[in-house]
Each structure stands twice: as C-alpha cells, then as structure tokens.
Amino acid sequence: MKTIFFIIITLFISCNITKPKTDTNSPYGVKNMEVLTKAPNDKWFTESFEKRTFDKQILEKLKSSWDKDIEVKLFMGTWCTDSKIETPKYYKMLETAGISKESTQLIIVDRDKHTPERAEKGLKIERVPTIIFYKKGKEIGRFVEYSVQTMEKDILKIISGQPYKHAYQD
C-alpha cells in the first residue's frame, strides 16, 4: 500500500512540475494589445500604426462582412520585422473600419514560435505574423506573414468565404 501511495504522490508532483506556468512578467504569451503601445514596443508600433491608410471601399465591405461570430488569434513576434509591419496595420485596419479589437486575441511568441501557456499548440504556427480567423469556433482561414493583395483585401476574402490562399499555400 505504501508503494502505491508513493507512486501516486510521485506522479502528482512530477505532473505539476512539468505543467506549463504562465509568467505574467514574460514578454511572451497571450497579451492585451496595449502592451504594444508601451516600451519597448511603442516606438515601432506607433510609427507604423499612424502611417497606415486603407482602401475605404474595401473597409466598408470588411465591416459589413464582419459579424459577432468571428474570433481572431494574432500570433506575432516583437523581434520579427514582418510582425512589426503587419500587426500595427491589422489594428489600424480594425480601428479605421470600426471593428472591435476585442474579437482579436494577441499572442506574442518567442523566436521558436512558443508561448509560456502553449497557446500555439496544435495550430502549426511556422511564420509570424499568423492571423487565424474563426467563425463559430471553426478556422475559416489565415493570413500568414504578409498580404497577397493588400491586408484588407486578403482578410475580406477570408471572412466572406471567398477562395483565398495565403502567401505560403500551394
């Protein structure tokens, strides 16, 4: 009986030790967009955010196609040049179109594309930024690293169900 008890306690302790821990001080993981507007990210984010402009007709179509069932996971790296270009552009697009940023979950990854909470697990995040769009919990498409046409045109295709292949799809 002591042996079984010892094995159970050992397994319990080892499982808790290997369980991923969320480090609220880590620069990586699920974050609020405001982390990008503060040091050390504020300079590149603000500069890129402020200079972005969009095709207003496409933004109107985007706004009318965006519904409450759309959820987004935006994986980016603060160390990545493409993320520093596309992430502010994405948030500026939402703001300009009048779409709530609350539908987007920001996930900042390290250079290995990992987070403390393992938010990337099972999602095949190979390049950043990767913006995954979900409707009613099902993935409907993803924007990977840079646009094929323009960000707003690519995302409009994704959310409206039009055929779309990101830059790395065959």
Distance CA 65, CA 73 (A): 18
Cα–Cα distances (Å) from 84 to 89, 96, 131, in that order, read 9, 19, 14
> pLDDT band at 1, cuts 50/70/90?
low
> pLDDT band at 25, cuts 50/70/90?
confident
Asked if pLDDT for residue 71 goes beyond 90, the answer is: yes
Distance CA 157, CA 111 (A): 29
pLDDT at 45: 97
> Structure pTM?
0.85
pLDDT at 133: 98
Helix (H/G/I), strand (E/B), else coil: 141: strand
Q: How many CB atoms lie within 10 A of CB 139?
A: 13
Residue 103's identity, in one-letter code, is: S
Q: Which domains does the chain have, with CATH numbers?
A: 22-160 (3.40.30.10)
pLDDT at 9: 45
Q: Average per-residue pLDDT in the chain?
A: 89
> pLDDT band at 136, cuts 50/70/90?
very high
Place of tokens 């933004």: 59
